[in-house]
Amino acid sequence: MAVCSVVKAELFYGAMRSNSPTRTLERQQGFLGRFVSLPFGDETASVCGQVRARLASAGTPIGAYDLQIAAIVANNLTLVTHNTREFERVDGLQLEDWEVEA
């Protein structure tokens, strides 16, 4: 299992907005340290632009962070999320809803 850098950024933001940012960040670092990190690099940026253009042409855009997450996992990875409504718009993306029993 892995966590992408975009998700980490969202988690860090949440920690900084919490009542005790230092403690929350320490706990997050311990938790996130167990996972491989998937970066948002140049190749992913290219995929992101392509996916965004396709979705815009179809009139079905998704949020910027979700778009970046989709681009990161578009390389034959499965995205585990409960936000399937947004991600279903991305062709070929493999999804697994963590709230639905297999």
Tokens at 21, concatenated: 């940012």
pLDDT at 101: 78
Compute the average pLDDT of residues 15-37: 96
pLDDT single digits (tens) 50-70:
999 999 999 999 999 999 999
Q: Is the dihedral of CA 60, 68, 79, 24 positive or negative?
A: negative
Residue 86 contacts residue 79 (beta carbons within 8 Å)? no
Compute the average pLDDT of residues 10-24: 97
Q: Which CATH class is domain 40-102?
A: alpha beta
Q: Parse the chain into domains and list their residue ranges.
A: 1-37, 40-102
Residue 7: count of CB within 10 angstroms of its CB: 19
The burial class, CB within 10 Å (0-12 / 13-18 / 19+), for 61 is middle
* Interatomic CA distance for residues 88 and 36, integer angstroms: 24
Compute the average pLDDT of residues 72-80: 91
The pTM (predicted TM-score) of the whole model is 0.88
